[in-house]
Structure 1
Amino acid sequence: MKEETKIAIFKGKKIRKVIYHNEWWFSVVDVVETLTDSPTPKTYWAKLKDRDKELSQPFPFWEQLKLLASDGKMRETDCANAEGLLRIIQSVPSPKAEPFKRWLAKVGYERIQEIENPELATKRTRTLYKLKGYSEDWIEKRMRGIAIREELTDEWQKRGVREQKEYEILTAEISKATFGVTPSQYKKHKNLKKENLRDHMDDFELIFTMLGERSTTEIHRTEDSQGVPKLKADADRGGKVAGNARKELEKELGRSVVSKRNFKKLSQGKKSIISR
């Protein structure tokens, strides 16, 4: 099953989470840090497992799943679902435990709603972008880009992609052919670290990203491509469709579409994005 990773917020603290077996699983270390304010949450969690024998082994209360680490790479991380976290919380003396339980129940309920009505997830994402100050036009493109991306990754999964690294390789192939840089190089160009690159793209960057990924999806389907080597070749071809279009536009504009611009200032009070 393809995993979808996101960030949840509890009282200003970020908690990484991932959809696994159709429910949210949360980073145990992030939860421990939130509940205890420990400067060394990994050590705290390790000692907790030593003290509580029921928690010493992964199953049934926690498992190792891949989450985005501070170095920008996907790494195996101890994660627990709502049931597992409630058990872990029993071993963590904290005045935040009860509010966290209520928060956990709310997040779980929202996930159930989203499964029953996928449009709710889309609406929540739109709302978050609005609250951050993005313009309606930008949000529309970003949401369309998310849909196209999901369609592409679904195709990759059907056609033999299994490892997170393989998704990264294919994504980088499209990016190189579209923009001449990999996503990591692009983030460096925009002075980004942990931020989501696509949340800092302007209209043209989003449009060409969509074109490259949508073209790649169509090539996969047309040729019934199977296996990572063939998918990688398709990704290069799909990216070049967008790359050629980008180069033509750059000739007309007399400037590069690959912008250093980012939208970090939105969180500092800027009200909306005006694409240039």
Structure 2
Amino acid sequence: MKQMEGIQLFEEKKVRTIWDQEEEKWYFSIVDIISVLTESIDSSAYWRKLKQRLKAEGNETVTNCHGLKMKAADGKMRMTDVADTEQVFRLIQSIPSSKAEPFKLWLSQVASERLDEMQDPELSIDRALEQYLNLGYSESWINQRIKSIEIRKELTNEWKNRGLKEGVQFATLTDIISKAWSGKTTKEYKILKGLKKENLRDNMTNTELILNMLAEASTTDISKATTPESFEDNMIVAQQGGNVAKVAMKELESKTGKKVITSLNAKDVLQQKSIDKNLDNK
């Protein structure tokens, strides 16, 4: 089952979701929905009591709900009771709330938008732009980030064409590229920036992101030109692609006198921008 985890916002409150690509349906965290509708201090306790009552009544909504791993508040992946769109609609009927009707409209919109995106990928890009803007990223950084997604996709497609497998092989080649240009594996890079589950690219500066794009685009171009056959051949190509970006980085550092690789993450950068903005307004 191919899944894509995400967070949807209803009236600025987070609802954890998972999109199942094979079933083509959303799954929603039930406790998050209860938190939105009831404003309960302990939505987990509310759900336990509601579940007991519904089971006693023979309500199939609870019986058919199942658990999926979702990121909890502490950053760890934990089993969470989820429901698809149809189940959520039925569940709402058991929860007295003044927000029931607007939530139903929101739920319908979420389901519709995802299906629309499958028909028109540009809509997905537009939503990504909007989400990054809401998080406080600059437009120039967002444009680079969207481009980096395209370049990464081209690279992984090239690897697939070479008969490589997602998972260990993709991760190994990615680490080789990263180590070649930045001197750090993906894990080492994330440790430097104080990251855990967060996406590394979302926490790169503009320059870091551009150089990473150069490394991956170069790897794709070299692969197409040399047509590596074995995994070992692809490892050599990954090293060569990373080295292209390394040369560019060293040249830039020699001109600016500043190191490109930094421990700054997105949170640090956005906080500093907020501070600078407040100072400018005084």
Q: Give the alignment's TM-score, normalised by structure 2.
A: 0.72
- How many percent identity over aligned positions? 44
Q: Is the 8 A contact 2:137 2:270 kept in 1?
A: no
Match of 2:213 among 210, 218, 242: 210
SS in 2 for 1:263: helix
Aligned residues: 264
Equivalent in the alignment of 2:10: 10
Aligned partner letter, 2:43: P
CA deviation after TM superposition for structure 1 residue 208, in Å: 1.8
Per-residue deviation, residues 38-70 of structure 1 (Å, max 9, x unmatched): 33333433443333333454x4x4452x43344
Q: Which deviates the most, 24-33 or 99-108?
A: 24-33
Q: Would you tell me which structure has more helix in proportion to its own residues?
A: 2
Change (3 A) 1:70 1:56: same
Equivalent in the alignment of 1:274: none
Match of 1:161 among 143, 147, 166: 166
Q: Which deviates the most, 137-146 or 27-36?
A: 27-36
In structure 2, C-alpha distance between the alignment counterparts of 1:92 and 1:191, rounded to whole Å: 40
Aligned partner letter, 2:269: F
Per-residue deviation, residues 168-188 of structure 1 (Å, max 9, x unmatched): 776555444443345565455
Gaps of 5+ in 2: 278-282
CA-atom RMSD, angstroms? 3.8
Pick 1 or 2: higher relative contact order, CA cutoff 8 A, min separation 6: 1
Aligned partner letter, 1:14: K
Aligned partner letter, 1:39: I
Equivalent in the alignment of 2:269: 263
Equivalent in the alignment of 1:250: 253
In structure 1, C-alpha distance between the alignment counterparts of 2:53 and 2:170, rounded to whole Å: 38
In structure 2, C-alpha distance between the alignment counterparts of 1:157 and 1:91, rounded to whole Å: 48
In structure 2, C-alpha distance between the alignment counterparts of 1:140 and 1:224, rounded to whole Å: 34
SS in 2 for 1:205: helix
Q: Which deviates the most, 179-188 or 118-127?
A: 179-188
SS in 2 for 1:208: helix
Answering whether residue 36 of structure 2 is matched by residue 34 of structure 1, we say: yes
CA deviation after TM superposition for structure 1 residue 263, in Å: 2.7
Per-residue deviation, residues 100-121 of structure 1 (Å, max 9, x unmatched): 1111111111112211211111
Change (3 A) 1:239 1:42: farther
Match of 1:117 among 117, 120, 123: 120
Q: Is the 8 A contact 2:173 2:235 kept in 1?
A: yes
SS in 1 for 2:258: coil
Equivalent in the alignment of 1:79: 82
Aligned partner letter, 1:12: E
In structure 1, C-alpha distance between the alignment counterparts of 2:5 and 2:70, rounded to whole Å: 7
In structure 1, C-alpha distance between the alignment counterparts of 2:43 and 2:218, rounded to whole Å: 44
Q: Is the 8 A contact 1:133 1:266 kept in 2?
A: no
Q: Give the alignment's TM-score, normalised by structure 1.
A: 0.73
CA deviation after TM superposition for structure 1 residue 75, in Å: 4.5
Equivalent in the alignment of 1:223: 228
Gaps of 5+ in 1: 272-276
Q: Is the 8 A contact 1:29 1:42 kept in 2?
A: yes
Q: Is the 8 A contact 1:133 1:270 kept in 2?
A: no
In structure 2, C-alpha distance between the alignment counterparts of 1:7 and 1:40, rounded to whole Å: 20
Per-residue deviation, residues 50-100 of structure 1 (Å, max 9, x unmatched): 33333454x4x4452x43344445454433321122123233333322221
Answering whether residue 176 of structure 2 is matched by residue 143 of structure 1, we say: no
